[in-house]
Structure 1
Amino acid sequence: MLALESFSVVLGLLTTGLALGWESFYCRRLLKPLRWRIAVTGSRGKSTLVRLLVAALREAGYAVAAKTTGSEPLLHHVDGQEERIRRRGTPSLLEVKQALRLAGKEKAEVLVVELMSLHPENLFVESVRLLQPYLLLVTNVREDHLEQMGESPDQIARSLAAAIPPGGKVLLPEEEFYPVFEEVAQRRRAEIIKVERRWPAQFKRLPPDNLPPGVFPAQLRLLSALLEEMDIAEKIDQDFFRSYRPDPGAPRMFRFRYGPARASWTALNIFAANDPFSTRELLDRLKQELDFPRASLLGLLNLRADRGDRTWQWLKAIREGMFPEFKKIYVIGEGARAFSSKLKRHLAIRVIAVTQKKAPLIMEKVLEANPRGGYLVGLGNIGGLGKEVVNWWSEQARQGE
């Protein structure tokens, strides 16, 4: 019996190895026609950076195809259309093949791919074995996906370093540099380029404190550095923003009225910031740019069953007073009741579980509990109920136009 089990394991490993070898060979054939292959990894802001790159490179005259996996997985056609990737079950590494096939079919000159893998072994296969990018951009290193990537910034940086392509170039903000990036780059004969904090000259008419919602200065610094590497920096200025299309889950504000008294509501979608640290950073930025009320905010925190580490992060953040501007946080999704029970003694913020499973019922309970209206901020996760709630907000705002 033991011998049979050992044989089965060996056979499985051999089959997997042969399959990956074939996929790698197949992808190499699709890679050849492309002038530039660009990959984007990091903890936060990957989809936004890919979309910025696509807009800028098209402005420079390139035929660009792309793949993003932000609030929803999308293929970006050369003509600007976006097509949802149909998944049967869990996400697959082989979605890279779909992007490569699209690029080949539409004769793209540049392919930009948001790497979606979390486990370093999968990230290595996705980047090094399948896509083989010339340029890898690292947005940042944040404490998220702790179960897959590690519990400390150093461990997370090591996981992200798995994507470094042999002989390629790696661009990252200088404040996000960790020694492990240099260590892995040396082994793979890659070059690390630390992008300085100075504001890019080609964007001098666009101050860093006046960017579109969800766009951060570090992303434009990375974009500028990439354009310099491609020797096309002089062709691009901030006018490329005219063709920039934000992710469907990007920060957005909705205004509507609700109830017999037609109470005034403002809802702000920042679900896609996900972890509390990125949410805090984005909220601080938006409070400077948007018309935030002086009164306390209401939060709507969406939990996901497959993101237990993120749920723990939010629990810790609320306990430690990371979001003092909120007077109430309503919790929805898997484990909402258990989450709120852990914070019963938290006197600064009332944490209230909402157990309804449909967006209209959730919003009915939240809004009717606050008949005078208010300012509601979506937190936690855009997936599942988060997206349904945003769609409900959008529909209410549309009806009020």
Structure 2
Amino acid sequence: MLFLYTVLMVCCGVLLAAGVVEQRRHFINLERIPTRVLVNGIRGKSSITRLCAGALRGGDLVTVAKTTGTAARFIHPDATEEPVYRKFGIANVVEQIGIVRRAASYSPDALVIECMAVMPALQEINQSKLIRSTIGVLCNVREDHLAEMGPTLDDVARSLSRSMPHGGICVTAEQDRFHILQEEADARDCELIYADPETVSDEELRGFSWFTFKENVAIALTVAGLLGVERETALKGMYDAPPDPGVLSVERYATPDGKRLRFANVFAANDPESTLMNINQLLDLDAISRPLNVVINCRPDRVERNGQMGAIIPDLQPDKVFVIGHPAKSAIDAIPAEWRDRAVDLGGDRRAADDFMGQLLGQLGPDSSLVAIGNIHGQGEVLLEHLAELPADETPVDVPAGPAARTQAASPADAQAPAASARPAVRDDETLALQQYKPYIDPYQPYPEAYEARYQQHQQPPVPYEPQAQQPALYQSAPPEPVRQRRFGDGDGDASGNPAPTAPPSAPAQPAPRPPQRGMFEPARPVTEAQQQNPGEPR
């Protein structure tokens, strides 16, 4: 018995010593990377990671990046990338140790890495032990992973704040819960900087050949500004950066019976607020148009999310709602009663793809749009694969002098009124760039071959960027007064669904002075007086 105890103690001692050695080596690798940017939030983390890396590369900084979203990628300093190998295909935060070791081998100026932890405790460990970021990014607070970080959005904000660097800098574009983030930042002696989306002009956004948001660009520009990269240089680097494989895109198909279909893959935005924002912006750009149809893909392990997708159907005002996957009842029951007659249950996850695809395409109009929401896994992947096998719609697109306003269907009869002959010929250069976009694809991308081959047909070069005569401030210390949007599950608002008015996020009258010695946290370019002003103060 004494022998067994001795063996046990020796083994424990060996494991302890090995753990100490591994931790010390990991910290040495971290010290070889002077700037470490950890990107956290609910939506857009992968896109922001790529934009930040592109902006820093544009400033001639040796930058390594790693994403975790639709397809985990390790991005080398020359912007080439490769998939992250995972044993048994299971993601684990421990893989960050190997990523840091590989990144340190380049002796880079910066590492931009996406947070892959969901549990609040793991988010804190990811920051304090694995990455130890010098600049944190907390892009937004949305309704997702409420079981782990909720149940309320305030709880989600506080959970995400665990990734803020102690004594460092955190950049955010969140407005509604900025005051909560400010409280958490103050508790960590962290400087919280608001990246104002309004500082990004439409002309600058038009330089991208894929679909992105001003919030993401504003965050990347702020991070680049902290490291001394000029705005024009950072934008050029972002334009050249390869987008994420899950980037929002619109495809034009011709069905076997001669119908014309515009399809938008909105699976990546799998919370209600992001889904509505993506679809409304596509409608505003006329990348899709009415009559509009929605397909909801259900998963048995995402029953709450299935219901959230069904609850936003009145805001989308579609002609038809096709429900695939299992359990379809979780989404159909969440659709309000007055809209439930438009729902079409295409069967569970065991139904043959040819069967439900034939029924789906058969119920579409001669010229319509289809958006896919929910979660991509399961029947959603089957849907993408079969749509990609359809021939492309090569009909020329008429481009008017300017963008057209989005049309709303006032009633079910109005929603079904437009026919093929009455199709509005409204497109703009942003829409053309979106439709003819060719994303960065490598042979390891986990999409069906037919889906990948669709992007090989056309490519629209990005519109050259022309800098404006006067650029706005890169970042500000507090957001402007927020315009409240309806948040599902918040519990605030009146009986008609109108949100209750809220006060703007509180911000100190004067920003706290920077410490005299900031080391690696000190921006390479001094912050101007205009950048330190609050949005409400006269400039």
Pairwise TM-score range, normalised by the shorter structure: 0.7 to 0.9
Please give the alpha-carbon distance, in whole angstroms, between the structure 2 residues aligned to 1:367 and 1:274: 23
1:93, distance to aligned residue in structure 2 (A): 0.6
1:390 to 356, 365, 384: 384
Aligned CA distance change for structure 1 residues 39 and 17 (closer, same or farther; 3 Å): farther
Give the equivalent residue in structure 1 for 2:54. 55
Give the equivalent residue in structure 2 for 1:331. 323
Give the equivalent residue in structure 2 for 1:32. 31
Give the equivalent residue in structure 2 for 1:271. 267
1:77, distance to aligned residue in structure 2 (A): 2.1
Q: Which residue identity does 2:136 align to in structure 1?
A: L
Name the stretch that deviates more: 51-60 or 357-366.
357-366
CA displacement, residues 256-286 of structure 1 (integer Å, 9 cap, x when unaligned):
2222x33222211111111111111111111
Give the equivalent residue in structure 2 for 1:119. 119
Give the equivalent residue in structure 2 for 1:10. none
1:68, distance to aligned residue in structure 2 (A): 0.9
Give the equivalent residue in structure 2 for 1:11. none
Aligned CA distance change for structure 1 residues 383 and 247 (closer, same or farther; 3 Å): farther
Please give the alpha-carbon distance, in whole angstroms, between the structure 1 residues aligned to 2:357 and 2:213: 31
Aligned CA distance change for structure 1 residues 388 and 36 (closer, same or farther; 3 Å): farther
Aligned CA distance change for structure 1 residues 22 and 340 (closer, same or farther; 3 Å): farther
Please give the alpha-carbon distance, in whole angstroms, between the structure 1 residues aligned to 2:336 and 2:198: 46
Query: What SS does the aligned partner of 1:192 have?
Result: strand
Query: What SS does the aligned partner of 1:159 have?
Result: helix
Give the equivalent residue in structure 2 for 1:322. 315
1:299 to 294, 311, 321: 294
What is the percent sequence identity of the aligned residues? Answer: 26
CA displacement, residues 15-48 of structure 1 (integer Å, 9 cap, x when unaligned):
9999986664342122121121101011111111
Aligned CA distance change for structure 1 residues 47 and 265 (closer, same or farther; 3 Å): same
Give the equivalent residue in structure 2 for 1:286. 282
* 1:191-340 alignment, distance < 5 Å: 191-200=191-200, 206-207=203-204, 213-234=210-231, 236-259=233-256, 261-293=257-289, 295-318=290-313, 321-324=314-317, 326-340=318-332
Aligned CA distance change for structure 1 residues 22 and 286 (closer, same or farther; 3 Å): farther
Q: Which has the higher helix share?
A: 1
Give the equivalent residue in structure 1 for 2:360. 366
Is 1:174–1:197's contact at 8 Å kept on the other side of the alignment? no
Q: Which residue identity does 1:312 align to in structure 2?
A: G
Q: Which residue identity does 1:55 align to in structure 2?
A: G
Q: Which has the higher strand share?
A: 1
Give the equivalent residue in structure 2 for 1:64. 63
Name the stretch that deviates more: 236-245 or 328-337.
236-245
Give the equivalent residue in structure 1 for 2:95. 95
Give the equivalent residue in structure 2 for 1:110. 110
Query: What SS does the aligned partner of 2:268 have?
Result: helix
Is 2:171–2:219's contact at 8 Å kept on the other side of the alignment? yes
CA displacement, residues 278-328 of structure 1 (integer Å, 9 cap, x when unaligned):
1111111111213433x321111122333233223223333xx2221x111
Aligned CA distance change for structure 1 residues 20 and 159 (closer, same or farther; 3 Å): farther
Is 1:65–1:108's contact at 8 Å kept on the other side of the alignment? yes
Q: Which residue identity does 1:273 align to in structure 2?
A: A
Give the CA RMSD over aligned residues: 3.0
Please give the alpha-carbon distance, in whole angstroms, between the structure 2 residues aligned to 1:166 and 1:17: 27
CA displacement, residues 39-90 of structure 1 (integer Å, 9 cap, x when unaligned):
1011111111111112111111122211112212222122322222233253
Aligned CA distance change for structure 1 residues 89 and 237 (closer, same or farther; 3 Å): closer
Give the equivalent residue in structure 2 for 1:6. none
CA displacement, residues 108-144 of structure 1 (integer Å, 9 cap, x when unaligned):
3321111021111011111221100110011111111
Please give the alpha-carbon distance, in whole angstroms, between the structure 1 residues aligned to 2:60 and 2:180: 36
CA displacement, residues 332-371 of structure 1 (integer Å, 9 cap, x when unaligned):
2231245335649443661222225465554233113337
Is 2:136–2:169's contact at 8 Å kept on the other side of the alignment? yes
Is 2:173–2:194's contact at 8 Å kept on the other side of the alignment? yes
CA displacement, residues 169-189 of structure 1 (integer Å, 9 cap, x when unaligned):
111126254333233333332
- Higher RCO (Cα < 8 Å, 6 or more apart): 2
Is 1:141–1:153's contact at 8 Å kept on the other side of the alignment? yes
Please give the alpha-carbon distance, in whole angstroms, between the structure 2 residues aligned to 1:50 and 1:272: 16
1:376 to 329, 351, 370: 370
Which runs of 5 or more structure 2 residues have no equivalent in the other structure?
1-12, 393-452, 458-539
Is 2:79–2:241's contact at 8 Å kept on the other side of the alignment? no
Please give the alpha-carbon distance, in whole angstroms, between the structure 1 residues aligned to 2:160 and 2:330: 33
Please give the TM-score of this superposition, normalised by the length of structure 1. Answer: 0.84
1:220, distance to aligned residue in structure 2 (A): 1.5
Query: What SS does the aligned partner of 1:180 have?
Result: helix
1:243, distance to aligned residue in structure 2 (A): 1.2
Is 1:254–1:393's contact at 8 Å kept on the other side of the alignment? no
Is 2:266–2:371's contact at 8 Å kept on the other side of the alignment? yes
1:100, distance to aligned residue in structure 2 (A): 0.9
Across the two proteins, how many residue pairs are aligned to each other?
A: 380
Please give the alpha-carbon distance, in whole angstroms, between the structure 2 residues aligned to 1:278 and 1:212: 21
Aligned CA distance change for structure 1 residues 198 and 102 (closer, same or farther; 3 Å): same
Aligned CA distance change for structure 1 residues 57 and 210 (closer, same or farther; 3 Å): closer
